[in-house]
Amino acid sequence: MAAPAPAPSTAGASAAPSGSGSKLEPFLILARSTKPRGAAAAKLVQQVTEANDVYAFAELFDVPGVAELRTSEEYAHFYRLLELFAYGTLPDYTASPSSFPELTAAQLLKLRQLTLVSLASGTRVLPYATLFASLNLATEDMRELEDLIIDSIYAGLVGGKLNQIRSRFEVDAVIGRDVRGPAEIDALLTQLQGWGGRADGVLKSLEAKIERIRAQEAAGAAVRHEHNQALFLALQQAQEGAGGKGQRAAWAGADGMDLDGWDDQAAGGRGGSRKKIGSGASSSTQRNKRSRA
């Protein structure tokens, strides 16, 4: 059953793509033990191309009975079928369907998935219009297309997101397919060399930026050091110019509260003395009055 459709904007499942070579191993063991020929070898090809989770087929070409199918008048189309699943795409089939056995539903689904892998290997953005055409789907089959992509993600064939707003599949990762002989190996090597050159260019650019940032930081540190030195010298000169006044001002500023308190106490003390003098005079007057009496 297909996975549910994702949410509208940039929905989609993401999975780490993985190979499927180990899934082919049971068929290889069977072929080595039974040594199929003719119809049996053709049946083996049919089973492998229908099997779930098998997306790599190159090792099957080394089975003698399968290799013999290439020159067989009766079963050569099964050899071409194996080549189609190993290296081809759905448009290769639709261009000449009579060259192959008729595809079952399982084979058609797998070939569409392999076609998606090939398309995703060449670009990071796949418009739905391109997918509809390459996968031989009608434009109204939006649900079928998205289910196919989601199933391929869960199968580990591709990784990415469905962007329904922009009607496209945004590719994050993709597995590799079987490589056809020395010519494809040379092309792959050229691509890897080009990628390596671009990676070196990016690395050198990053290193240059890092060096510029370090130089800017060093220059900034030197400017800050000079500024601090100038500020220190200016403060030192100001203190030397002020001399003792600066020290007295600092002392007054530090003890201002104590001086104010001392002034208040002094004023209070004088007031107290006056009050005492006044009270003493009043007492003398009273004594004089009593003595006259």
| Residue 249: per-residue pLDDT | 53
Q: Domain residue spans in the chain?
A: 21-175, 179-242
Helices (H), the chain: 21-34, 39-50, 64-68, 76-87, 90-95, 105-122, 128-134, 142-154, 181-292
Model's pTM, two decimal places?
0.62
| Residue 194: per-residue pLDDT | 84
Environment class of 150 (CB within 10 Å of its CB; exposed 0-12, middle 13-18, buried 19+): buried
Cβ pair 86, 115 in contact under 8 A: no
Q: Which amino acid is at 201?
A: G
Check the CA dihedral 265-266-267-271 and report its sign. positive
Chunked into runs of 10 residues, the chain (293 residues) has average pLDDT values of 37 44 87 93 96 93 95 96 97 96 97 97 95 96 96 96 96 91 72 83 91 90 90 87 59 48 48 46 50 49
Cβ pair 162, 14 in contact under 8 A: no
For 215-238, letters b (16+ CB in 10 Å) and e give eeeeeeeeeeeeeeeeeeeeeeee
| Residue 144: per-residue pLDDT | 96
| Residue 26: per-residue pLDDT | 92
